[in-house]
Amino acid sequence: MTEVEIIQKLQRGNEQAFKELVENYQKMVVNTCFGMVHNIEDSEDIAQEVFIEVFRSIHKFRAESKLSTWLYRMAVNRSLNFIRDNKKNKWFQSFEDAVQSKNAELSRITTGDSENPEFELENSQRAILLHEAIDNLPQNQKVAFTLSKYEDLSYQEISAVMDVSVSSVESLLHRAKKNLQKKLYVCYKKKCI
């Protein structure tokens, strides 16, 4: 089924078309959300919300942009909303919950090939450090960086998703990398790892 056929069938309420749409774009949406929230369970939950929104509002889709662009936009917006809500909830989160979520994140990163636990631990610390550095970027820089690094999108594609010019995307990515480099250098000096 082509993209156009999927959209047309989905607009008529065809369930098989919805299944095919989810299968085709699941990895892309989950990956984008993961780049934003850095947690696989949360990113799957957000991706599900994205597909539910697609199912409910497919009749509004006028094919002025690509379906993937529409999905990327929804994934980014939903992830940003999730991060905003999570920040609010953090004030009310108990210390135990915070520790539990950190441990869960650590164990998620370290599970897998455990032949070299030292290497695994170092990698997990690197991952946490990198996630924190990305999270501290200004919002637009973070979105541009995530789409570029996690999804390998071109400047043109990122500009379509973010609704900004290509030169703006270029500038955002340049600043994002500089900021990231600065944060990683500070951490290297402090011997974080």
Q: Are 18 and 10 in contact, with CB atoms under 8 Å apart?
A: yes
Taking the least distance from each CB to other proteins, the nearer of 33 and 162 is 33
Nearest to 18 by CA among 8, 6, 27: 6
Of the candidates 26, 39, 16, the one whose C-alpha atom is nearest the C-alpha of residue 71 is 26
Residue (90 or 102) nearer to other proteins, CB: 102
Please state the φ and ψ torsions of residue 41, each to the nearest 5 degrees.
Answer: -65, -45
110 binds other proteins (CB under 8 A): no
Decide: is 61 part of the binding site for other proteins (CB under 8 A): no
- Minimum distance from CB of 182 to other proteins (Å)? 9
Q: How far apart are CA 79 and CA 66, in angstroms?
A: 20
Binding footprint of other proteins on the chain (CB under 8 A): 19, 22-23, 26-27, 30-31, 34-35, 40, 43-44, 47-48, 51-52, 55, 123, 126-127, 129-130, 149-150, 177-178, 180-181, 184-185, 188, 193
